[in-house]
Chains A and B, each alone.
Chain A
């Protein structure tokens, strides 16, 4: 039987869809680890990137520091964090958060820097205070790029959360690690397929979130010319 047939049979087996080793349980674990890490990363990265982009100062410094995070391998952080914090979810969340931060810092900084200076001046001229200018003018314009950073982070984190299984954590990585250990290659491949699907789903659903967050006017600005034109006509 071909390996594809074996993988298909693995998915078709109802036993793999229930219980503590079942796909729903593992999906929940994987999503929880990833969501916690991305949220924690966003709480740290977005205010820093947005503030630096808004004021236009120390940007290079911050981006360079956060880019060091890209150079540090997640597995290294994971192993060191395991030595310090022991067994549990904390080491993997730390490793994934470190992975999530750099794209969000860079993108939100660039997003705020890219806001047209004329628009800023206009906002100021219309009497917006500093915070109002940031919230009501700059941030809406910056949303597409900021969200692109969040999306990049989230997809990377979802793909890397498989490492959790190396330190006895849950998630889809369990199938990959356990499949290798048990010479159960259909299980390993099924785990890889599940991770790939989840990464795709993350990308798509965050694109949906982005659409909701971007104000209609800006969406029209960035839409393809043909659609933009026709929309303008209707509007």
Chain B
């Protein structure tokens, strides 16, 4: 084989690799019409983020955008630099946690979602990014009771616990007694003084087992955990906004965020609730369905595609 032949082969191989690589980032676009533009939707490395990415992405695709997904790209430490560099166009963020990331943990986040997103946008503006209207769906520290406990004491929100806290045992990770978003906050903000505290784990199997066998009555979970329905747990509403507002909020590059794109994404955010997020997470994490199928079924069911 001559030299020229060999370099031709090399060229062909390189071209092939490039084609395959381009195809790997799964790209979809709606209809057969010309695309309104390309949007690269990324997500964090957990199921909920993939579902949210699919919800926003599929609705964009339905409205004529070409969407490339980069699901499970990594943690915020990977995703945020990628969007700053323009390698991705948007990701589903969480208001308070993203604010504390972009402000270098300055402690600006609060339980007020509007104020938190406002401050987040002040940090995103110079980076050429913008946070859109936050959703009501929220993934944050939450306190759950069993349905039986909720019925027994007529509980729906955290302030209901103030009167009867001394009859109940709180269970959470061992760090809870020293954390402002856990036992300290419950005492200061809500005036709840529990009978005892049981050191378990943070939102893990110990907390679930202890709730199930009655060792504890109130347990720390995350508000959008996939197994809350299955375990018959009720999350008490954080009516005094103790927890930072980690509402789902799309974070997107300003050049991509046209009025049309904003309207499409805002529609998804406006209708999504935490309860729906629990169900969607359950379909992916417990029933092992694919995030894109779960998202598409949700969009169909809620008449986005009609």
Interface bits B196-226 vs A (CB < 8 Å: 1, else 0): 1011110001100110110100000000000
A177 vs B201: C-alpha distance in the bound complex, in angstroms? 11
| B137 vs chain A, min Cβ distance (A) | 29
Interface pair A168/B178, CB less than 8 Å apart: no
Interface contact B199-A168, CB-CB below 8 Å: yes
Instruction: Report chain A residues within 8 Å CB of B205.
Output: 82
Asked if A168 contacts B175 (CB within 8 A), the reply is no
- CB-CB under 8 A from A235, the residues of chain B are none
A168 contacts which chain B residues (CB < 8 A)?
198-201, 206, 210, 215
A178 interfacial contact with B, CB 8 Å:
yes
CB of A181 within 8 A of CB of B213, answer no
Count of A-B residue pairs with CB < 8 Å? 38
List of B residues within 8 angstroms of A87 by Cβ: 206, 209-210, 213, 215
Contact in complex: A181, B175 (CB < 8 Å): yes
Asked if B25 lies at the interface with its beta carbon under 8 angstroms from chain A, I say no
Q: How far is the CA of A20 from the CA of B177 in the complex (A)?
A: 14
Interface size on A, residues (CB 8 A): 15
Q: Mark A26-48, 1 if CB is under 8 A from B, else 0.
A: 00000000000000000000000
Give bound CA distance, A105 to B212, whole Å: 39
A54 at the interface (CB under 8 A from B): no
Q: How many of B's residues come within 8 Å of A, CB to CB?
A: 17
Interface mask (A170-191 → B, CB under 8 Å = 1, otherwise 0)? 0000100110111110000000
CB <8 Å contact, B209 and A174: no
Most buried by B among A86, A165, A184: A86
Question: Do A182 and B209 touch across chains, with their CB atoms under 8 A apart?
Answer: no
Shortest Cβ distance from A21 into chain B, in angstroms? 9
Chain B nearest CB from A187 CB (Å) reads: 10
Whether A167 is near chain B, meaning CB under 8 Å from some CB there, is yes
Cβ of B86 within 8 Å of any chain A Cβ, yes or no, is no
Q: Which of A79-138 contact B (CB under 8 A)?
A: 82, 86-87
Tell yes or no: B30 within 8 A of A by CB.
Answer: no
Q: Which residues of A in the span 17-74 have a Cβ within 8 Å of any Cβ on B?
A: 20
**What mask results when residues 158 to 172 of chain A are scored 1 for a CB within 8 Å of chain B, else 0?**
000000010110000
Tell me how far the C-beta of A198 lies from the nearest C-beta in chain B, rounded to whole angstroms. Answer: 20
Contact B199–A20 (Cβ < 8 Å): no
Query: What are the residues of chain A within 8 A of B178 when measuring CB–CB?
Result: 182, 184
Chain A residues within 8 Å of B74, by CB: none
Interface centre among A87, A174, A181 (most CB of B within 10 A): A87
Report which of B177, B206, B213 forms a contact with A167, defined as CB distance below 8 A.
B206
B173 interface contact, C-beta 8 A: yes
Is B174's beta carbon under 8 Å from chain A?
A: yes
Contact of B199 among A82, A86, A177, A183 (CB under 8 A): A177
Q: Separation in Å of the B253 CB from the closest CB of chain A?
A: 38
Is A181 within 8 A of B215, CB to CB?
A: no
Q: Which residues of A contact B215 (CB under 8 A)?
A: 87, 168
Tell me how far the C-beta of B161 lies from the nearest C-beta in chain A, rounded to whole angstroms: 21
Tell me which of B174, B196, B209 contacts A178 (CB under 8 A). Answer: B174
User: Which residues does chain B contribute within 8 Å of A182, judged by CB atoms?
Assistant: 174-175, 177-178
CB distance from B194 to the nearest CB of A (A): 13
Chain A neighbourhood of B200, CB < 8 A: 168
Cα–Cα distance between A82 and B208 once the two chains are bound (Å): 12
- With A20-B196, A168-B199 in contact, is A181–B209 under 8 Å at CB? no
A35 to B200, CA, bound (A): 24
A177 partner residues in chain B, CB cutoff 8 A: 174, 199
Least CB separation from B201: chain A residue: A168
Whole-angstrom distance between the alpha carbons of A167 and B208 in the complex?
A: 12
Name the one of A86, A174, A178 contacting B213, with C-beta atoms under 8 angstroms: A86
- Cross-chain pairs A/B with CB under 8 angstroms, 8 sampled: A20-B196, A82-B205, A87-B206, A168-B206, A168-B210, A168-B215, A177-B174, A178-B175
In the complex, the 7 A-B pairs of residues with the closest C-beta atoms, listed nearest first: A181-B174, A181-B175, A178-B174, A87-B209, A182-B178, A168-B200, A168-B206
14 A-B pairs besides A82-B209, A87-B210 with CB distance below 8 A are A20-B196, A86-B212, A87-B209, A167-B206, A168-B198, A168-B206, A168-B215, A174-B174, A174-B199, A177-B174, A178-B174, A178-B175, A180-B174, A181-B173
